[in-house]
A = this chain, B = another copy of it.
Amino acid sequence: MIKEIEKQTGAAFKLKKGQKLKVIDPKGEQVSDMVLFNAEDTREKISSGKTLDFEESILITKGNFLWSNRGRKMMHILEDTNGRNDFLLAPCSPETFQIMYNNPEYHPSCFENLYTNLKPFGIEPDDVPTAFNIFMNVQFQPDGKLSVDPPLSKAGDYVLFEAQMDLLVALTACSAEDSNGGSFKPIHYELVE
């Protein structure tokens, strides 16, 4: 059964080892930030540093694993119809809009949508790690300069993950204008046995 994450919101749920998670961009050009925790001990969580290190690549897609801060495999990426994801940049947060967008007003953010959905599982805001940013199109130049470009994902593109341990998962439909081609859309996800 496909579930919908409404625009600028999030969700959190458990996933058993061996279960598969399909994250779908139903309308195209929409990012979904994902964080992972070991369901049995949430001090173990997804790590960008460990993943880029062990996968020896900035770009993480089909065939790659997502690793934890304890150097263990959390997810295997079985399929990726779009092929572009980001694992460099932190989830958009209130400071993102204050500092990068020069917007002092309240603005929904992936960080808020992650920690509010994770709160019932005992996760504090400070415990939210750098997310795996599905469909996010961050381009890098040889001099290291980064730009956040509109996602390349088309309606129906998806990434299929297989859990390598029992997991607590949080997902968002990203709230940052620049990351999503200027408009906010939902994200769909499905748990597949």
Chain A contact residues, majority secondary structure:
loop
Q: Which residue of chain B lies nearest to A130 when distances are taken between CB atoms in the complex?
A: B49
Identical chains in the assembly? 2
Docked pose: A94 CA to B100 CA in angstroms = 37
Q: Which residues of B contact A128 (CB under 8 A)?
A: 69
Question: When the two chains form the complex, which single residue of B57, B71, B144 contacts A96, counting CB atoms closer than 8 Å?
Answer: B71
> Do the beta carbons of B99 and A52 come within 8 Å of each other?
no
> Do the beta carbons of B88 and A54 come within 8 Å of each other?
no
Docked pose: A145 CA to B60 CA in angstroms = 10
> Do the beta carbons of B126 and A56 come within 8 Å of each other?
no
> Do the beta carbons of B69 and A126 come within 8 Å of each other?
yes
Interface size class of A (residues with CB under 8 A): 35 or more
Task: Indicate whether A48 reaches chain B with its CB closer than 8 angstroms.
Answer: yes
Q: Of residues 43 to 63 in A, which have CB atoms within 8 Å of B's CB atoms?
A: 43-44, 47-50, 52-54, 56-59
Interface pairs (13), CB distance under 8 Å: A43-B126, A47-B90, A48-B130, A49-B130, A49-B131, A50-B95, A53-B90, A56-B145, A58-B145, A59-B143, A59-B144, A70-B95, A71-B95
Q: Which residues of A contact B (CB under 8 A)?
A: 43-44, 47-50, 52-54, 56-59, 69-72, 88-91, 93-96, 99-100, 124, 126, 128-131, 140, 142-147
Beyond known contacts A49-B129, A53-B90, A58-B88: 4 more, CB 8 A cutoff: A44-B126, A52-B90, A53-B88, A53-B89
